[in-house]
Amino acid sequence: MSHPAPGTGASRAQTPPPDPKKASTAQLLGDLSDQVTRLVRDEVRLAQAEVTTKAKRLGVGAGLFGGAGLVALLGLNALITAAILGLAAAIPGWLAAIIIAVVLLAVAGVLALLGRKDVRQAAPPLPTETLESVKADVATVKEHAGR
């Protein structure tokens, strides 16, 4: 017992294509329409499969980057702890921890100020130079159109 191919529908009989030399123009146009429809559907399915595969890879890659960031943060914490313990050999442990904390907070403050400066320079998030260029182009066109 023969089953129809998936997606072709159960009510459609599978008939071999007519011999192009003996087929009428109407039959050939009907076959062409069916073949184009099938081709488009197959291409859409292929595109969906490709996008799905790439999206999965992108998700896995993003997860691995996130994991790498977390492990790097833990490594930084271990280095900070080592610095505190190294200083604690010369001064009391609580004082070593305070010194390292103050240094880290100072670095964070400098980074925050630099970031704030960059954000202020980027605001507003509009392509202001392009807008000015477009305004100049419009003015030039109006000037020449008025002549």
| Six token digits for residue 125 | 């998030």
Q: Within a 10 A sphere around the Cβ of 95, how many other Cβ atoms?
A: 13
- Give the C-alpha separation, 18 to 28, whole Å: 8
- pLDDT category at 24 given cuts 50, 70, 90 is confident
pLDDT, tens digit (0-9, with 9 covering 90-100), for 69-128: 999 999 999 999 999 999 999 999 999 999 999 999 999 999 999 999 888 887 776 677
Q: Which residue has the tokens 């529908």?
A: 9
- pLDDT category at 7 given cuts 50, 70, 90 is low
pLDDT of residue 121: 80
pLDDT, tens digit (0-9, with 9 covering 90-100), for 27-54: 888 888 888 889 889 888 888 888 888 8
Q: Which residue has the tokens 């069916």?
A: 34
Domain spans of the chain?
21-90, 92-140
Higher confidence at residue 143 or residue 69? 69
pLDDT of residue 97: 95
* DSSP annotation of 83: H
- Give the C-alpha separation, 129 to 2, whole Å: 67
- Give the C-alpha separation, 12 to 114, whole Å: 69
